[in-house]
Structure 1
Amino acid sequence: MPLSLEEYQIAQMYMVMKMQQQSTTGDEGVEVLQNKPFSDDEFGEGQYTSKVYHLQSKAPSWLTTFAPADALVMQEEAWNAYPKCRSVLKLLIDFFMQSPYFSRFFMSIDTIHKADNGCSENVHGLSKEQLAARQVEVIDIASTATDYWSYIVGRNDVDLSNFRSARSGRGPLLEGWQDHCSPIMTAYKLVIIDAPYWGFGSRLEQALLAGERALFLESHRNCFAWIDEWFGLKVEVLRELEQQSDYSLNMKLGRPCSAEKSWMTQEESPLEGEKSAA
């Protein structure tokens, strides 16, 4: 990413809010259960979130032979102690929860952000056995993809090889940009998926990995493509916008809101205006 670590934190917060607003309708999208500060011995201080992803229309057709389409409902718990973050996802729908067989599903994403161009080795401190099983893939935000999951995730059509930020002066991202760009940082993501189901477990794991790859590419492309919208914002301002966005998401889905606060209406929300202009 052609950003500093401090800038990326802002970019990521803004991107998550905007993409959640874009993907949430009255039928499906992101439901926010909790969004609050946390502190523990492992991560220190950070922000804890609990979200439910209602993704029925994104279920591949082959999966519906094993489960109903509305079974693609997942809960994510995330501990964001930037520059480190951990997300754990589980299947949430009753179809799965009523069966111990399906409760064995596990998926986690550990992220470490570093101010380098992707040259660091074993930033997650994996064992020799884990390193032997690890598959490394470098995702370049200047690249594009046209596979099934990229279509499902959605695609920003901005050509980053021709894009220049008006506010920061950065860009375009030409071939080999990682070798001479400053500032620069990398998000190192460790994805672990275990779906121990006979007949379709391996296929489900591969589908989820492909989906995460498409999401990583699109979300990080958006971080840079939207730089002129978030550049100069402060974390404190974005935390307030997060509260407004969480309320708006839950209202779209017809879900009760967990926090008792004075919220900005959808019509007044800056994110809603930016969404329509995007």
Structure 2
Amino acid sequence: MNILVTGKNGQIARCLVKQLNTLPDVTLLALDRDQLDITDPIRVNKVIAEFSPNIIINAAAYTAVDNAEQESALAYAVNRDGPFNLAVAANNINAIIIHISTDYVFAGDSLAAYVETDNTEPQSEYGRSKLAGEQAVARACSQHIILRTSWAFAEHGHNFVNTMLRLAKTKTSIGVVADQFGGPTYAGDIANAIVTIVKQLVDGHQAYGIYHYSGFPHVSWHVFATKIFDLALAQGVLKQPIQVPHITTLDYPTPAKRPANSRLNCDKINQEFGLVQSDWQAALVNIEEYSR
């Protein structure tokens, strides 16, 4: 089985490559932006025609949420046009495409965790570009899995855990937003979910469509940060406690509007693929791994 992974230097793709390399009978081709610019349809078609993947996993994305407000053309090129190019090429060779998306496709004003069929109403250019990418993939290739996730973190790359630990090296007090809620999701668990889906698709379980996969329990950014600092202090990564004042979204204005509610209901993926939500607290057990 041939599997193509795009965006190989991202935190999810790096975990994916590590896990896919352990599978027998898999030939893996993982490419970064320099090796495969997904916005170039000619290059995409050439690479996919030559490698002939059975499954394409698109982990490439424009993720600079605030910058997207000023760089919308670039955001749409990477998050909409690129996935469309991959999906068209996948459809041409009867391949399956798995595309990673985001909680930002929702407005964030629901009182409940979002299910896959809820109305999408993104409030930022980043969210709108990601929703356009979902729609483009679904339109171009019927054999698609769109996986929405949220608050991804890993030992590597740029994410909330790394940022909090970096700030804690020079600060004794860090204000963190307490009125935005979601499910932190370990990138290694996202990768495991994708690998599990791949195995079942290969075995003939053709449950195509949109799925949610994120972490549990749901918390605010403030609670998440407090847990990070408590673990870091207990394990000697931090030498003194960090004060974590509650702040509101209004106290910390950003160019792009963030969803107040990023909670994703993951019942569908559990029922179809037997996947349980990411245990983000377990993923933080060795907090030292995130501070390097």
TM-score of the pair, normalised by structure 1:
0.28
Which is strand-richer, 1 or 2?
1
> TM-score w.r.t. structure 2 length?
0.28
Higher RCO structure (Cα 8 Å, ≥6 apart): 1
